[in-house]
Chains A and B, each alone.
Chain A
């Protein structure tokens, strides 16, 4: 694999990611510390770019993602109940959705950290099972009478 200068490598990152913290000096230091094949020639360091990319992205991660909105369980209940006064929920409803794996969540200490956007989507489906919900009423009418 051909080698390129640390400045070129840094420019490549800066082109795609304007807020990158990579600088040509720390690119050089990273290459030396992590055993990336490089050549030092008259104060110019030529680095193997493919190996550098493998080191900075060891899992081969690809694809950009948007920032999720993170809230606690209590906050999700409060926000939902404020927004949808007709379809009130409590913490047990969200805990049920967490157990069913419908919401991205993890426990940090003694509180749940939830993806609020997924909570909204999951609850929109969940409240359709409420007895007063129009869709639940339609489904009830469809049942054949004996």
Chain B
């Protein structure tokens, strides 16, 4: 048990490690519509991107998940810039 705690500490110490933002397709639509009500993104648009192989989908239990950052990059979103405080 102590070994797992130590390994967890060493694993978490990687500050720059990228954690994928995984969402269900329906959650992605809701999020995008909430932020931009006039957006023309639809469920079938995302399905189409998965079918043509541009977007990677992951089967997670009963749901299909996509990486939000990958989707935004494919659609031409700008890289996220964190504001440096201090």
Contacts and interface: CB of A to CB of B under 8 A. Distances in A.
A36 interface: no
A9 to B, nearest CB: 9
Main secondary structure of the interface of B (DSSP, over half): mixed
Given A12-B11, A12-B12, A56-B20, A70 B39 contact: yes
Contacts of A16: 19
Tell me the interface secondary structure of chain A in the complex: mixed
Given A30-B60, A64-B79, A70-B40, A3 B73 contact: no
A137 interface: no
Nearest to B81: A66
A118 B76 contact: yes
Contact of A68 (B23, B38, B76): B76
Nearest to B18: A62
B48 A108 contact: yes
A5 B4 contact: yes
A65 B27 contact: no
Contact of B72 (A4, A66, A106): A66
A61 B69 contact: yes
Nearest to B27: A21
B18 A63 contact: yes
A68 B76 CA distance: 6
Contacts of B42: 108
Interface string A76-109: 0000000000000000000000000001101010
Interface in B54-69: 54, 56, 58, 60-61, 63, 65, 67, 69
25 contacts: A2-B7, A3-B7, A8-B8, A19-B21, A20-B22, A21-B24, A29-B61, A57-B67, A61-B67, A64-B69, A65-B69, A66-B79, A67-B35, A67-B36, A67-B72, A67-B77, A68-B72, A70-B36, A70-B41, A72-B40, A75-B40, A103-B76, A106-B54, A115-B75, A118-B76
